[in-house]
Amino acid sequence: MEQTTAKSESELPTLPDDVIVEMILPRLPVKPLTRFKCVSKFWLSTISSNRFAKTHLKFSSLSNTKSVIYKELYSFRNRGSYLSFDERYDMKEFVTLDDKYSNNNDPRYTRRARVVGSCNGLLCMFDSDVLEFTLWNPVTKQYHNAGGPEFNYVLNDDVAGVGFGYIPSIDDYKIGCLVHSEEGVCRVSVYSLKTGEWKETSCIEEKGFISIDRRYYSVLVDDTIYWSPIVRRESEDQESHIVGLNLVNGLLTKVPLGNLLTGYFDAKVFERKGCLSLCCNSVVIGRRRRTKHVSDVWTLKNNGDKQSWEKSFSINIKGVILLYIFESGKCLVSRHLNQLMLLNLSQAEYVEVTVIWQRHRRGHVYHRAIADVWDYTESLISPSGISARVVNEDDRETGERVEENA
């Protein structure tokens, strides 16, 4: 009987390694994959490789679950929140990053570091007190200290803009940083994760060029990060423009706006369907002097041509502020500073308005619910770059090396 059982077990079919590695493991969530590294040395080397991380990211990007990082502008109590939706855009989770991804009370995060970018599962954190950046993979608990620009930073200097993104053409993650100096110039520096070095790429006079609002928020379109423009008063002679930084050549660029911002009091950049978009807000006085808040979303069809801005859609629900545009066209918005809503737009008409979250009243006022929002996907991408040792949050090296040119 025992011989029969042993024989039957030996005859059980087994899947080839290439099927397991290429078809099964990449479809699994990150957390079980980190545990599966203990199965064998082969699984450890496979799951730890840069090639596998990229393959896993491709499958994760196809998931019907959508997640974003949500950071309130006026909240310094946490580094941000994790907000996720299922395939029907029903909210699954809305928790702080610290509750979602425990950091074991890591002393590095007691400082006021904030999220300034998200790409392929990596969060770019910035501590403005010491001008230092940290790349962090929350789900794998790995981090990489990227430091800051290598020039003499003084207290009177001011950060004009920061941004983060991945450049597929050169397979590199880069951080851009613009700093006003006491000398009346703007120093531009770019960090490359592949080389692990900061490089000052240009130094220009500030006057008439650097016009950036929301300096800790930017969007990446092609190889360039863009910041929201300052909406000038009509009495000012200077023409409005959007400032961009090409992360490949490190040069600043201007996208002219012409008279687009006339009549608006605020504008914020977005990425929509691979194009640079701009949400412009205005207040319209209607009948009986009632005010109505209108948000117009414009899309740039031809970069560099100020005449190629086309209005994509408008949102004119009272008290609504646009926070994020999903690829599906759904819009995440805040309303009256205390609600989060999803708008489903179809030919500029509202076919669905869903309240997904309501903030509880604190005393006689609501806490402000104006936020910057970034796309987020859990991944195995290492924040330490190519040929670098992976370091966990407990300061212990894992002994794993990321494959070079994988």
pLDDT tens readout for residues 220-273: 999 999 999 999 776 555 678 999 999 999 999 999 898 899 989 999 999 998
Mean pLDDT of 15-42: 89
Average per-residue pLDDT for the chain: 81
Structural fold of domain 64-99+110-376: Neuraminidase (2.120.10)
Measured in residues, the chain has a length of 406
pLDDT of 170 strictly over 70? yes
Confidence tier at 120 by pLDDT (50, 70, 90):
very high
Give the residue-averaged pLDDT of 96-111: 65
Classify 116 in phi/psi space as left (phi over 0), alpha (psi -120 to 50) or beta.
alpha
Contact status, residue 349 vs residue 44, Cβ threshold 8 Å: no
Domain parsing of the chain, residue ranges? 64-99+110-376
Burial label for 20, CB within 10 Å (0-12, 13-18, 19+), is middle
pLDDT cut 70: percent of the chain above it: 78
Residue 229 pairs with which residues in a beta bridge?
Answer: 212
Residue 398 has pLDDT above 70, yes or no: no
pLDDT of residue 173: 97
Asked whether the predicted pLDDT for residue 397 surpasses 50, the reply is: no
CA-closest candidate to residue 113, choices 102, 103, 124: 124
